[in-house]
Amino acid sequence: MAKGSKGSTTLEDRLAREISGDVFFDSFNRGRYATDASFYQIMPAGVVVPKTMDEALRALAIARDAGRIVTPRGGGTSQCGQTVNDGIVVDFSKHLNRIVSLDVENRTCVVEPGIVLDDLNRQLKRHGLWFPVDVSTASRATIGGMAGNNSCGGRSLRYGTMRDNTRSMDAALADGTLLHFGEVARDLAPSGANDGGLALFRDMLDLGAREADEIAEKFPKVQRRVGGYNLDALVPRNTPNNMAHLLVGSEGTLAFTTQVELKLWPVIRNKVLGVCHFGSFYEAMDAAQHLVKLRPIAVELVDRTMLALGREIEMFKPIITTAVRGDPDAVLVVEFAEEEQADNVRRLKALGELMADLGFGWNNPKRKWGGVVEITEPALQTAIAEFRAAGLNVMMSMKQEGKPVSFVEDCAVPLPHLADYTTRLNDIFARHGTRGTMYAHASEGCLHVRPVLNLKLEKDVKAMRAIAEETFAMVREYKGSHSGEHGDGLVRSEFHETMFGPRIIEDFRAVKHRFDPDNVLNPGKIVDTPKMDDRALFRYPPDYRVTELKTALDWSAWPGAGGGFQGAVEMCNNNGACRKLEGGVMCPSFRATRNEKDVTRGRANTLRLAISGQLGPDALASDEMMETLKLCVSCKACRLECPTGVDMAKMKIEVQAARAAKHGLSLRDRLVGYLPRYAGLAARVAPLANWRNNSPLLRRLFEKFAGISAQRTLPAWRRDVFDPAAEVVGPVDGREVVLFADTFNRAYERENLDAALRVLVAGGYRVHIPKPADGARPLCCGRTFLSAGLVDHARAELDRLVATYAPFAARGVPIIGLEPSCLLTLRDELLSLRSDDTAKSVSTQALLFEEFLVREAEAGRLALPLGPVASKALVHGHCHQKSFGAFKPVEQTLRLIPDLKVETIESSCCGMAGAFGYGADTYQASIDMAELALLPAVRGAGADALIVADGTSCRHQIADGTDRAPLHVARVLAMSLDSARSIP
């Protein structure tokens, strides 16, 4: 049904009536589709998310009848503005993502255009096949979008481009005519096309014959030529001509794709990497032409800037430390992937010899300093590939107004010219007062080049224009291509005439007009485009302003209004890493719903539009903003997994604080937020407090008035809360530790704290459980107050905690917690509320139980008498553990137990996420998240396997969904202690 504004238009009404998928005409949803990964923003008139291909075609027909243009969209990751326009956007990615057919023997498949590359390859892998156009955005790039842009990927040296791997396409013309585009003979017999299709194909083949000489002269002779329409597919020498190759790279301007037939390849079974180090960037670029003679499948550049930024990003720092030696100016990652591993090893050895022959050595002066670090371990190879694939986002992680800007991004030049080209390019940047970043496909002479500019400034926009003109002139001089991978869009289409000449441009226009005479399909791309520096089309147009706003947390690491909140929000570059469907945690709600609203990118775009006044007054505290953030479970995965560091959990606190200040709190917010304040009273009247769980009537009343789902059993209060009489236990001469007894384990599951205390004392530690100096209620981290937007209350709780723990922290005593969300508050939000040395000292000493034990074990100080408890433990990691790199110690700790096989569930968020899973309006989303991987894995575990989960919420979700009783690691260790004692 339609999610529209008041006073719906006739077009909106008709779309809503005739399409069962989503139809959006409100400003919030349109705003989420107004941008892609480029620097442009164009607000669409409406958005359609069809459930079937028939509905997609129906949307095209309805929009055409209403005089509206139509722009097809996949993952929305185009870097040149291909997927933004002011008409109707049709999103294929949510529903139109099936493999239609698969022919394993002939290595082909037919897919719908909305299927994501990684998802396709996951399904193909079981058949020993893959689709090798491995773009860095593979976790969210759709096949339709890749075909539209003629994507290339890092291994095009071996496998070619999207065009080379597309066998045929089915598509509708703007008037609704359905055609099959594939190989045809010059005489079109037999073609199977209808009369209209035959006439179209005849006209295209005639154009190719007529313009063959001009095409041969004007089209660059490099593989990475993806600019303009592929007229070279129409010339007689390419017989039989593949008409699909004319659609590839056409950016949705010629036809509306319904199916794509792909050529598949055997999966890579063996590979090795050689990380070639260079003390001189010029020498690295000059060496590329020689390295490719060893026939690698890829040679990828990582420059000094990318290495430096990667070292500052938590998830990439260990990779660089392992794979990079010294302080290179650049590295070239050379990949060999032959069928026999022995062949790969020989080539890797030859790579080292070639580097030596070229004069490089580890002991040489800087210009010829270098050598090869061999990478044969698969996990490290994967990690390096992920770092390189994240290159764009790594570059965009600069916390400043100026960012690396894509507009001369993918020029391709012949390899012998690459070193001179990059040197002259840096000179161009310097002349215009900036510098550039460079990385990616050195093997193809196609580097991702981005000068650092602030496009909010007119002077930098003028510099961009000048850099573009000078760079493209230089590329023509080298007989290269100004568009070598990411297509044309709004950025490069304007420059086609200088690249191809006026006659080819008229041919491009003739093709567009012949396919789409009424200019319905994504106009303004490839032909008849606006100026690339038309600031009215920018994400930050000349009138872009963010008025000063009061914020509750510290955002001073970023520039802009709200103490830097603006800069933090604007870090989102729309590249869509948050849209991945497997691997890591981010973004769990999107994985469950596939809605743009429910992905980190969609939320960040909405925040940016809200604080800049583009969604109306008071948008930050509006109902629509809360709806945007409703399914954000504050998992903090984006904090780690978004390479540009968009911390949506922290941003959600700001929105909730603004909303609480303007509208007050709901009853549910009060019940959740103030839980630590009334926990003591609830414990004293536990049977009465638990009455709701046993009364269907009270469940219904709680759902109606407090918004707590009647389908959920709330955690049971208990009278015997964790409240030890002594503030210190354990041997007098033991190493000191502090045990942080969080609200949840203290009030609901004291067994975990009892177990942790036993384990620590058994290990010889002297454990402090200090009470607050004011003698009042127990300590709390303020987590529940933060979740309700009550930042001042959270600060007060943390002030009490810091005052109590500060004397211990000052003398280096570890502060150990069991509940990840509570303990890690001391490492995260505490420092956003207090920046004094005392708070920093407490934060530095905060460790999760397993982190502490692993640290002690690695130092040789841990002596626990442990016995066997089970043959297998199935472990689910808490989101915050994963976000802070604190989950691996959980696995390491469990492996201390004899004979225990530890298996990790590859899951995202459990879906409970504190109070989220208890909400009547979020219950189903909570279950959907859990059912993606976690609950099926637990149900499939044997009855004798232990189910382990550190998070209180995680344990409750698992218990609710599977009737299994998960354990905290502390309890498993306590069981192991008991087992050891029982052994004679």
Average pLDDT of each block of 10 consecutive residues along the chain (984 residues)? Answer: 48 96 97 97 98 98 97 95 97 98 98 98 97 93 97 89 97 96 89 81 97 95 88 92 97 97 96 96 96 94 88 83 93 94 95 97 96 93 83 71 88 93 95 89 87 95 97 95 91 95 97 98 97 97 95 95 96 93 93 97 98 95 96 94 90 96 94 96 95 96 96 96 94 97 97 98 97 88 96 97 97 98 98 96 98 97 95 97 95 97 96 95 97 97 96 97 96 96 79
Instruction: Give the other-Cβ count within 10 Å of 984's Cβ.
Output: 2
Question: Which of 693, 689, 665, 668 minimizes the C-alpha distance to 678?
Answer: 689
Model pLDDT, residue 396: 66
Kindly give, in sequence order, each residue whose CB lies less than 8 Å from that of residue 909, ignoring residues fewer than 6 positions away: 585, 588, 633, 635, 637, 879, 929
Model pLDDT, residue 387: 84
Backbone phi and psi for residue 152, each to the nearest 5 degrees, phi listed first:
-125, -50
Task: Work out the angle at residue 827's Cα, subtended by the Cα atoms of residues 822 and 830, and round it to the nearest 5 degrees.
Answer: 80
Backbone phi and psi for residue 440, each to the nearest 5 degrees, phi listed first:
95, -130
CA distance 927 to 929: 5
Six-digit token string for 211:
């313009």
291 and 299 Cβ atoms separated by less than 8 Å: yes
Model pLDDT, residue 306: 86
827 and 955 Cβ atoms separated by less than 8 Å: no
Model pLDDT, residue 785: 97
Model pLDDT, residue 676: 96
What angle separates helix 281-291 from helix 341-357, to the nearest 10 degrees? 130
How many residues appear in the chain? 984
Model pLDDT, residue 8: 47
Instruction: Give the other-Cβ count within 10 Å of 547's Cβ.
Output: 10
Question: Which of 146, 166, 150, 212 minimizes the C-alpha distance to 446?
Answer: 150
Ranges of beta strands (E only) in 751-828 are 765-768, 815-817
Question: Which of 913, 912, 919, 917 minimizes the C-alpha distance to 667?
Answer: 919
Backbone phi and psi for residue 903, each to the nearest 5 degrees, phi listed first:
-125, 125
Model pLDDT, residue 401: 85
